[in-house]
């Protein structure tokens, strides 16, 4: 978990930046459609691309600062669990007095984190970009002219056809052009993505609600770990091999 959170300013941001650059290159490389955009919009797309190019050149020292900031500002219960999970495991291996009993703190911390997360975490909301995509039912009901197939690969083909019709009719303009529809849709995706040149390294992000299955899995894993440690160590654990 430490490596996962610490890697976000490295691999996490790299993936996000490359994803946005891919859309920007698509919009700019379509020369004919790009030239039809207003001059202000063209300059905005080029400015975004230049900004993301500069973001890829972020110094290592700044990314390390972001990693530390991310770890330090984890929810208190989660951070406490990470620290104790490491320390108690080491103490158990070194046969420190009280380590067997203290290992039960982990499932209690997991339970406390789950309750706190569900009570005070912000519900996960779809992004503005995700809201642009129509649902499968919407495509099937409005843009499919044949019965829904029971075969998986035929369903894929039907959805592709319905998707192309959706782009033509709702995004393709007066001529209902598929290429223009695809371009307009991807352009809307670009503008739906948050973009700010302000330094947001130290912005505090409120915790998001985890899914219930994930929280139950965390509690179950910690409970199982504590039970396994107790079963694997005998009553004379502190007396052996000392």
| Mean pLDDT per 10-residue segment, the chain (242 residues) | 86 87 94 93 93 87 87 89 93 87 94 92 87 94 89 92 94 90 95 67 63 94 92 67 52
pLDDT for res 44: 93
pLDDT for res 223: 95
This prediction has a pTM of 0.74
Q: Where are the domains of the chain?
A: 1-72, 85-125+207-242, 128-192
Which residues lie closer than 8 Å to 27 by C-beta, 6 or more apart? Answer: 34, 45, 183, 186, 187, 190
Instruction: At 64, list the tokens.
Output: 């390390």
The whole-angstrom distance between residue 82's C-alpha and the CA centroid of its chain comes to 20
pLDDT for res 236: 60
**Whole-number Cα distances in Å, 191 to 49, 131, 167, 222:** 13, 13, 17, 43
pLDDT for res 91: 92
Nearest CA among 135, 108, 81, 123 for reference residue 211: 123
Spatial separation of the C-alpha atoms in residues 95 and 89, rounded to whole Å: 10
Q: What angle do CA 62, 200, 14 make, to 5 degrees?
A: 60
Instruction: At 128, list the tokens.
Output: 């503005």
């Amino acid at each position: 978990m430490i490596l996962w959170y610490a890697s976000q300013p490295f691999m996490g941001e790299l993936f996000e930046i490359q994803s946005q650059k891919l859309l920007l290159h698509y919009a700019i490389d379509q020369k004919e459609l790009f030239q039809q955009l207003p001059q202000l919009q063209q300059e905005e797309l080029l400015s975004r691309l230049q900004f993301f190019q500069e973001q890829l050149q972020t110094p290592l020292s700044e990314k390390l600062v972001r990693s530390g900031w991310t770890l330090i500002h984890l929810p208190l219960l989660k951070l406490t669990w990470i620290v104790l999970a490491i320390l108690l495991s080491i103490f158990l291996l070194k046969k420190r007095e009280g380590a067997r009993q203290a290992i039960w703190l982990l499932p209690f911390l997991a339970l406390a984190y789950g309750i706190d997360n569900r009570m005070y975490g912000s519900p996960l909301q779809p992004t503005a970009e995700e809201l642009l995509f129509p649902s499968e039912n919407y495509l099937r009901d409005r843009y499919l002219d044949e019965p829904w197939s029971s075969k998986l690969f035929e369903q894929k083909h039907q959805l592709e056809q319905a998707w192309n019709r959706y782009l033509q009719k709702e995004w393709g303009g007066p001529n209902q052009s598929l290429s223009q529809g695809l371009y307009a849709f991807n352009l809307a995706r670009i503008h739906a993505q948050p973009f700010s040149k302000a330094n947001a390294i130290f912005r505090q992000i409120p915790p998001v609600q985890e899914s219930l299955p994930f929280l139950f899995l965390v509690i179950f894993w910690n409970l199982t770990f504590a039970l396994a440690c107790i079963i694997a160590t005998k009553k004379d654990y502190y007396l052996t091999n000392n």
